Amino acid sequence: MALPARLTAALGQHPDHLTEDDLQRAVDSQIPESIDLDWKKDFYPGTDPGKKELAKDVSAMANTAGGMVVIGVDDGKQDHAHALAPDGPAPGRGEEWIRQVLANWIQPVVPNVGVRSVKSALHDGKIYWVLTVPPSTQAPHAVAAPGNDYHFRVHVRHGTTTRTLAESEIAQRYRDRFQAASDDVDRLHQVADAGLAYLSGYLTSTAHGGRPKVTDYPGWVSLAAVPAVRGTYPVSTRADRDVAFDRFDELARECVNNNVQPARPVLVGRRQVRFEGVPTGQLHQDGSFYAALPINLQKDQYNSDGPKRLFQRGLEFDLVALVQAAAAWAAETGSAGDMVLSAALHRFDDSDKPVYLIVSEHGFTHGPAMPFPAVPAQTTGDLAALVTDQREAVVVACALVSDLLADMGAHEPHVLTPAGEILIDRLEGYQHALR
C-alpha cells in the first residue's frame, strides 16, 4: 500500500508491519502527530458521534496525503506519542464494524483502507488498532450519516488537527480530481509512445551487425500502464538499476507464463530501467510500465503470398502476463489506486496488410483477413486487486484482448472469460507453457 515515505522513515518500519515494540519506540522517541499520523488513546464509541468521528479521521487522511491512525497510543494532549494505552477488544466493534462504518458514513467509499489489530504482549488480552489510509484518487470524500444526503462535510488534515473545507475549496478538489484523470491518460500516451519508439529502434537497428531483429519478429503486442497514485523507486545509479531489474525479474517469475522475464544486460534510461530482447521494455521510477512481446505471426504454408496467420491463444496469455507484471512493478514502487492500461498490436513488415486470426495451433481460420487495429485498447483496473487476485488480471487482460480482437472480426477471446476464468479445456498442447 502506498503511504507517505515519511512514516516508514519515522517509525523504522512500514506501517503494515508495525508491532508493539515499534509503538514503544515511537513513544520513547516522542514521534509527533502530523498530517499523515494520528495517535488516539481510546477506541471509537459505537454511537453516531463515534462513527462520525471515525469516518472523519479516515476521510481526512484520504483527502490529504494518506497516512495512519493508531488507536491505543496516548498523545498526552501533547500531539506526540506519549504512552502505550492498549485496550480490550470492544464487543461487536472489530474489523467488520470499522469497515461497515467507513462504507456507510463516507461517500464515495475510501478504497483500500487497511484495518489491523495488534496484540499486546505487555498487557494480556489487550490490543491496538492500526488503520492505514492510502491517498485517494477519488477525493474529495465527504462524511454524512447514512441516508442523510443534505449535510455532507469534507474534512482534511491540517497539521495535527482536522478541519472542514469551505464550499469553494470542495469545488476545487472536484476540479483537481477530473484534471488528475486527464493527466493519467496523457501520461499513458507518453509512456506508450516512448516505449514504441524504443521498440522500433531496437527492432530495426543494425548497429551490431547482422540482420535487424524485425526480420525474425515482425509482429508484437505491447502493454503500457500508469498508476493513478504514482510511486517512486530509485533508479539514478547503476546499482539502483541492477536492484530494480533483479526485483522485477523475481516478480515476473510469478506471472502466468515466463515470457515477461527480462533479459540482461540492464540498460540505462532517464528515470527508468530498460531491457531489450524478449521482452523489450521500460520500468519507470514512478511505477509506470511498458513492455512488448513478439506474437505468433506466421506465413500460411499453403499460400505463402497470402495473408499471414495470427495465433490468438498465445496472445491472450501474454496479455495476462503483461498485466500481472505491470501491476507487480507499480506496487513495488509504492503506487496505489487505479491503473490505466493500454494494449496495442504492432506490425513492422507491411503493417497495413491483413492477417487471419487462428484460435490455436490446432484451429482453423475463422472470419475474413483483417489488418491490425489502428487504435489501442484501453481499460482501467484496481491495482490492489490486480496484485492479489490472478482472476482480476485475467478480467483486465480479457477486456483488452476482446477489444483488439473485435477490431479484427473475432467475437470473443478463445481461452479468457470476462469473469476471470481460463478455459482449461481449450489448452490442448499448451499447458506446458503456463505456470
In this prediction, residue 23 carries a pLDDT of: 94
Domain ranges within the chain, ordered by starting residue: 5-165, 181-433
The 8-class DSSP code of residue 275 comes to E
Cα(337)–Cα(134) distance, integer angstroms? 8
Rounded-to-10 torsion of CA 424, 294, 359, 387: 30
Handedness of CA 58, 60, 63, 67 (dihedral sign): negative
| Predicted local confidence at residue 361, as pLDDT | 57
Cell digits of residue 242: 541492477
Q: Give me the pLDDT at residue 211, please.
A: 80
- Residues forming a β-bridge with 111: none
What is the rounded CA–CA span in Å between residue 434 and residue 432? 6
> Looking at residue 232, what is its pLDDT?
86
As separate numbers, helices (DSSP H) first and strands (DSSP E) second, the chain gives 9, 20
Contact 228, 180 (CB under 8 A): yes
According to the model, what pLDDT value does residue 406 have?
92
DSSP string, 155-177: EEEETTEEEEPPHHHHHHHHHHH
CA dist., res. 355 & res. 338, Å (int): 34
114 and 43 in contact (C-beta within 8 Å)? Answer: no
DSSP tag of 370: B
CATH among 3.30.110, 3.30.950, 1.10.10, 3.90.1150 for 5-165: 3.30.950
The reported pLDDT for the residue numbered 362 is 58
Report if pTM > 0.75.
no
pLDDT tens over the chain, length 435 residues: 556 677 888 888 888 889 999 999 999 999 999 989 999 999 999 999 999 999 999 999 999 888 999 999 999 889 999 999 999 998 999 999 999 999 999 999 888 899 999 999 988 999 999 999 988 878 899 998 887 666 788 888 888 888 888 888 888 878 877 777 788 889 999 999 999 999 999 998 876 667 888 888 899 999 999 998 888 888 989 999 999 999 999 999 999 999 999 999 999 999 999 999 999 999 999 999 999 999 988 887 777 777 888 888 889 999 999 999 999 999 898 888 889 999 999 998 877 889 988 886 555 555 688 999 999 999 999 898 899 889 999 999 999 999 999 999 888 899 999 999 988 888 776 655 666
Tell me the C-alpha distance between 307 and 219, whole Å: 13
Task: Identify the pLDDT of residue 276.
Answer: 94
Contacts 24+ apart (CB under 8 A), 283-286: 283/233, 283/235, 283/244, 283/245, 283/248, 283/329, 284/191, 285/232, 285/233, 285/234, 285/235, 285/333, 286/227, 286/230, 286/231, 286/232, 286/333, 286/335
Give the position of cell 495476462: 320
Distance of alpha carbon 429 from the chain centroid? 32
Q: Which of 54, 43, 143 shows the shortest CA–CA distance to 99? A: 54
Q: How many CB atoms lie within 10 A of CB 250?
A: 12
Q: Count CB neighbours of 134 within 10 A.
A: 26
